[in-house]
Structure 1
Amino acid sequence: MEVWVPLLIALAGAVIREALFARPPNITYSIDEETCNLHVRWLPAEPPSSNCTQQYKVGMRINGSWNGLTFLVHKETFWTEAVPVGEKVDFGVKTTCDSNDIETADWNDDETFHVVQNGTAGTGAKNINCIWWNKKSMECSWNSGGKASSDTSYKLSYWLPLEDGQNKAKQCRNVTRKESEFRCRFDLDFHHLARIHISVQGKSANIQTTCFITESVNSLVKFDPPSFTDHSKNRNEMFLQWNKPVGFSDSCCDSEVEVNSSKSEIKHFKHTYSTTIPLEPNVQHSFRVRIQSEKGHWSDWSDVLFDSSPPSTTSTYLWLILIPLCVALLLVILLIYLKRIKLLIFPKIPDPGKILKDVFEEQIENQPAHETVNNDETHSLMLVEPAGNEK
């Protein structure tokens, strides 16, 4: 008899455990492919004993990995959870009396439900990527599915949990396509938005829906590149100041300043938009800045700001010597060619007296010798004639 006591106790424990963790009756589910929400409902289960406060343990498995458990009080016989449509999704529901029971070891494959999704596997959009520009507008891009035909068209819907009362998704209207890449941009001006569900659906029934879900929409934020608003140099330091995103507090963003000189380094700053950077002497520096929202993307780098440090003393002396030498050399060259330049501008005027003198001298030299003698005799006769008259 004593041998059967432990067996009876174990059997009773198994029965009680089976009753505690039984599946509630009439479990049904549906998927809203526009909002990416899985809706599960069931009928209330009877508690195994009067000491049990009936609760329901629900869990979801994504591609074979448990995504966590959610506990609901016994009066709630439904469960709604965002699911990545397009992936392999399973879920399970069990009863429990212990709200601290979160183990998944007691979940068997035959106790879970596989979520059947519409469309042909491999046709859904892939590589979905969304950027929330300045928390003003969101732009999403994706590629067509590997098994989708080349003429497949897609549409994008987005759903915000804060609008759960309406339970309707909104459409992004301006979808553009370039080869196999699609893009769509829509206004989204909510500074305190927590989550967003993005659904990319085919325009035909055989295209499988794909959902993009983020638990922190701030991780999608990307600001425009900042710009330097002020800078000043004081000896061997450079003061830098850049602008913060419009409409945001001083503590919204982190910043990085890239300093390039003889070496390159990036300095990180939290919740500030100004800093002082030490400078290396006699080295040219350049600066760039970018900002990041909380857990979000880094912005692109700003335009480069250059700082030209003064040259060294040796270079100064060298220039002081070279500049006067160059000036003196230019003056010498100018004086040498000044006369030639003057002649080109003002040509030399000939001297008439010198020209006539040269002509007369040339004629005298060319006269014959007898003409010279006759001239002398005639001149002598003329001199003698007055003397004969006196006789």
Structure 2
Amino acid sequence: MGTRALLLLACAGAVARGVLFARPPNVTYSIDEKSCSLHITWMHVQPPNSNCTRHYHAVIYVEGKKFSKQCKEENFWKEKVPLNKKIDFDIKTSCRKLCTDLSPWNGNKSFHVERNGAADTGARNANCVLWNRNYMKCSWQAGEKASPDSSYRLFYSHDSNSGQQCRNLTREGSDFRCGFVWIHEHVQLIAISILGNSGNVQPLCLLERSINNLVKYDPPKIKNLSKHGSEVFLQWTKPDKLYAADYEVKVNSKVHNFTNSNDANIPVEPDALNTFQVRVKATGGLWSDWSEMEVIDSRPSTFSLLLLVLIPSCLALLLVVLLIYLKRIKLLILPKIPDPEKILKHMFEEQNENQPTHEAANNEETHSLMIVEPAGNEK
């Protein structure tokens, strides 16, 4: 009889625990693809006694990891979720405000959220950037198995806001882009939904709980760059309405980090070519592109080196010209004295050259006289 009593007590305890931690009946869900929202509803479970105020412990799992949870008295729950991943949820009952009395015995299977559309038809390689906190630019590609005539629409929502459609849509082949003005300053959570033009295309949802992670600013501009000894003073512009920012200054290939400051004294290599670039990001955001490069060249200039070569060369050339000119002046002032030996030698050479000519002339005269004589004898 004692054993039977214990069994009865155990069964009674199990039934009590089952009533206390019962799973809500008639659990249903729906998905709002435009706002990336999962709506879950269930029937109320009556409390087992007056000491129990019924609460519900709701958990959503994404890819098997706990994504969000709540302990609430209402019999419904709405949560933004990434629609392109495996989603499950579970609902349990509790009698405490913070749902601290959940029993591990109540380990029922979770509900699986079915996805709409055919596999690999949804948008892929999606990326969104919030430029300067005032304009959102998104880009994506058509799904690998989407039909060539498939088109897409982009919706964006935040907090409890329902999806608003982006109208500035452009397409180049399988590449899509869409941009819209962002005017919400105090919003953190944002959901970007990309839907196909038919129910056969799977929806895609980019869910970002901190919009700061999408912010990207234009690159700063270097407005002051001056060298003082072995250091360079560098000053750059900072984005408007950005009070907490990180900066990186790249000097040649070395990067220096600064926080909430838009100027710095940076040591540089002397007698070298030093290049400077700056980029910025909001805390938790995306790095901007690098600014335009500024240069300080402390090396000896090519012109100086050229002067070092040309000046001595020019001086040498001027000296040569001057010597030649001075020699000509000397010849004008002090004519060269003739060499008597050379003059006499030249005269003898000319006399020797002219001597055969005189002998030939004498021979001709003698011959003429000999011819004239016979004529005189005939007379």
Q: Does 1:33 align with 2:33?
A: yes
How far is 1:21 from its partner? Answer: 2.2
The residue that corresponds to 2:57 in the other structure is: 57
CA RMSD of aligned residues (A): 3.1
Q: Structure 2: which amino acid aligns with 1:66?
A: K
Residues 344-355 of structure 1: matches in 2 within 5 Å? Answer: none
TM-score normalised by length of structure 1: 0.76
Aligned to 1:175: 169
Structure 1 pair 17–302 and aligned structure 2 pair: CA distance change class (3 A): same
Native 8 Å contact 1:125 1:209 kept in 2: yes
Matched residue of 2:47: which SS? coil
Counting only pairs closer than 5 Å after superposition, residues 237-316 of structure 1 correspond to structure 2 as 237-246=231-240, 248-249=241-242, 251-260=243-252, 264-309=253-298, 311=300
Partner of 1:126: 124
How far 1:310 sits from its partner (Å)?
5.2
Aligned partner of 1:89 in structure 2 is 87
1:85 positional shift: 1.2
**Distance in structure 1 (CA, Å) of the matches to 2:320 and 2:149:** 77
What do residues 150-195 of structure 1 show as CA deviations (whole Å, max 9, x unaligned)? 221101011122xx3xx53211112222232211111112232201
2 CA distance for matches of 1:65 and 1:209? Answer: 21
| C-alpha spacing 1:336/1:8, structure 2 compared with 1 (3 Å) | farther
Gaps of 5+ in 2: 326-360, 362-379
* Structure 2 CA distance for aligned equivalents of residues 16 and 280 of structure 1: 80
Q: Structure 1's 177 and 49: CA in aligned 2 closer, same or farther, altered over 3 A?
A: same
Q: Secondary structure at the match of 1:328?
A: helix
Pairing 1:145–2:148 present: no
Partner of 2:222: 228
CA distance 1:25–1:286, shift in 2 (3 Å): same
1:140 counterpart letter in structure 2? C
**Residues 57 and 99, structure 2, Cα contact 8 Å, conserved in 1:** no
1:46 is the counterpart of 2:46: yes
Q: Deviations over 1:279-337 (max 9, x none)?
A: 2222221111000112111000001111112549xx99987753431222453687799
Superposition deviation, residue 207 in structure 1: 1.0
Q: Secondary structure at the match of 1:175?
A: strand
Match of 1:16, SS state, is helix
Find the aligned partners of 1:123 and 1:326 in 2 and give their Cα distance. 77
Q: Does the residue aligned with 2:136 lie in a helix, a strand or coil?
A: strand
Counterpart of 1:327? 314
Cα distance change on mapping 1:146 and 1:104 into 2, 3 Å = farther
Contact kept? 1:122, 1:208, Cα under 8 Å: yes
Cross-structure match for 1:116: 114
**1:215 corresponds to 2:204:** no
1:158 aligned residue (156, 159, 164):
156
Aligned to 2:365: none
Using the alignment, how far apart are the partners of 1:49 and 1:7 within structure 2? 24
Aligned to 2:11: 11
Structure 2 match to 1:382: none
Unmatched segments (≥5 aa) in structure 1: 339-368, 370-391
Does the 8 Å contact 1:69/1:102 carry over to 2? Answer: no
Kindly state the Cα deviation for residue 209 of structure 1 after the two structures are TM-superposed: 1.1
Whether the aligned pair in 1 keeps the contact of 2:277 and 2:293 (CA below 8 Å) is yes
Q: Which moved more, 1:302-311 or 1:232-241?
A: 302-311
Amino-acid identity (%)? 43
For 1:324, what is the secondary structure of its paired residue?
helix
Q: How much has 1:38 moved relative to structure 2?
A: 0.8
The offset of 1:5, in angstroms, is 5.8
Q: Is the 8 A contact 1:255 1:269 kept in 2?
A: yes
Secondary structure of the corresponding residue to residue 168 of structure 1: coil
Equivalent residue pairs, number: 329
Q: TM-score, normalised by structure 2?
A: 0.78
